[in-house]
Amino acid sequence: MNPLNGIPSTVPKGAPPVRHFLQFTDFTNEEIHYLLDRAAFIKHKFKTFVRHHSLVDRTLAMIFEKASTRTRVSFEAGMYQLGGSVVHLTTGDSQLGRAEPIEDSAKVISRMTDIVMIRTFEQTKLESFAAHSRVPVINGLTNEFHPCQILADIFTYIEHRGLIGGKTVVWVGDGNNMANTWLQAAAVLGFHLRVSTPRGYEVDEKVAVTPHGMGAGSYKTYSDPVEACKGADLITTDVWTSMGFEAENETRRKAFAAWCVNAEMMAAAKPDALFMHCLPAHRGEEVAADVIDGPQSVVWDEAENRMHVQKALMEYLLLGRQD
Ligand code: CP
Ligand code: NVA
């Protein structure tokens, strides 16, 4: 009770614990399917110019410690479309860049906004923020995971080819944040995952597999990327050098030379196989121009779908199920 005006306290008591989306395994198979269905509903309304203002007066804080085009635009446009507003922070223009502890930042930002998206380096930093946040926190990419991207990728697969359960997905390239998240998604959704990386750049199970063992054994490794692509339903890749690893660029260029998704790899897959890339892409490095710009590529749908799935995600974290 506020002694000045008798208005009841606004500090929530007995409220359910806040949900976050820090890695793909934070949601069950059933929750992921709800989100994908809801994203399709929200996308249809957007495409037919029907207003969908489920988050009026809510504010999203976006914190970027690494560069972004898609993540920034998709979250920002998406939140405005839901009737809410956005605050954009970067390391350089906030106290985060002047060593204010992440825990203190979380306590303050989460008192003034309703939901937070963070793109940063170590997953542990994101987890520290979430542990001290009063509001839901979304992983907008860390060194370890990129769960919003995989949500969009799976939504895109379903739009083009139907349910992904039982299908064969091939990861070609670096055992990075995207690969780790595919591995988790395979465990949650039950599709077959093949991973082909150069030696020394394998997926690190200590990172990708949860403490409960979720993700273990959800994939097979292949030393030959063409072999991995045989009979595949979806081939996907990413840059050879992720943000934060730029010092390794030249070494990686040599190590990854045979891990360029090209016409030979696409020809080894099923005739109706799709190609995906989270973007930004480097034509002539991890993917040949005739593949990313060819008829099997769905990279532009994939990029757009970030916005639709993230609208469903923000709505779910703030309001719960809407059906
Ligand atoms: N795919 C993706 O996350 O792109 P940005 O780095 O541009 O946000
Ligand atoms: N693996 C890439 C993804 C960029 C969207 C990176 O972390 O830089």
Rounded CA separation 267/304 (Å)? 27
Measured distance CA(54)–CA(227) in Å, rounded: 47
Strand ranges of the sheet holding 219-221, from the earlier edge strand across to the other edge: 219-221, 192-196, 168-172, 234-237, 274-277
What's the CA gap between 181 and 147, in Å, rounded?
Answer: 6
67 alpha carbon to ligand 2 midpoint, in Å? 10
Sequence-distant (≥ 6) Cβ neighbours of residue 36 within 8 angstroms: 151, 154, 155, 158, 309, 312
Nearest CA to ligand 2 atom 3: 242
Kindly report which listed range (34-43, 90-99, 115-124) carries the lowest average pLDDT score: 90-99
Q: pLDDT tens digits for 141-163?
A: 999 999 999 999 999 999 999 99
In which band, very low, low, confident or very high, does the pLDDT at 8 lie, cut at 50, 70 and 90?
confident
* pLDDT above 70 as % of the chain: 98
Q: Which whole number is the average pLDDT over 10-16?
A: 66
User: Which residue, judged by its Cα, is nearest atom 1 of ligand 2?
Assistant: 242
Closest CA to 263 of 302, 219, 294: 294
Beta-bridge mates of residue 287:
261, 283
Q: Which of 76, 143, 306 to mutate to test the pocket of ligand 1 (most atoms within 8 A of CB)?
A: 306
**Which of 243, 277, 278, 287 to probe ligand 2 with, by most ligand atoms within 8 A of CB?**
243
Provide the mean pLDDT of the chain: 95
178-233 per-position pLDDT tens digit: 999 999 999 999 999 999 999 999 999 889 888 788 888 889 999 999 999 999 99
Lowest average pLDDT, out of 9-23, 212-226, 236-250, goes to 9-23
Cα–Cα distance for residue pair 261/259, rounded to 1 Å = 6
| Catalytic residue list | 119, 146, 149, 238, 278, 306
Q: What is the mean pLDDT of residues 231-244?
A: 98
In this prediction, residue 3 carries a pLDDT of 75
- The amino acid sitting at 15 is A
Of 152, 148, 131, the C-alpha closest to 140 is: 148
Backbone angles phi, psi at 280, to 5 degrees: -70, 150
* CA 12 to centroid of ligand 1, rounded, Å: 35
Q: Which of 16-20, 37-41, 193-197 has the lowest mean pLDDT?
A: 16-20
Q: Given this model, what pLDDT does residue 150 score?
A: 98
Distance 243 CA to ligand 2 centre (A): 6
Q: What is the mean pLDDT of residues 171-180?
A: 98
Closest CA to 137 of 169, 103, 95: 103
Closest by Cα among 97, 92, 87 to 62:
87
Q: Which ligand is nearest to the CA of 278?
A: 1
Atom of ligand 1 nearest to the CA of 278: 1
Which ligand has an atom closest to residue 246 CA?
Answer: 2
Distance 138 CA to ligand 1 centre (A): 14
pLDDT at 218: 84
At residue 10, the pLDDT reads: 65
pLDDT in tens, 89-99: 999 999 999 99
Q: Is residue 9 pLDDT above 80, yes or no? A: no
Centre of ligand 1 to C-alpha 74, Å, is 9
Residue 79 CB less than 6 A away from ligand 2 = no
Q: Is 140:148 a contact under the CB 8 Å cutoff?
A: yes
Determine the atom of ligand 2 nearest the C-alpha atom of 242.
Answer: 8
- Element holding 66 (H helix, E strand): none
pLDDT tens column, 294-311: 999 999 999 999 999 999
Q: Quick one: pLDDT band at residue 14, thresholds 50, 70, 90?
A: low
Average of per-residue pLDDT across 116-131:
98
Atom of ligand 1 nearest to the CA of 67: 6
Residue 4 above 80 pLDDT?
Answer: no
pTM, two decimal places: 0.96
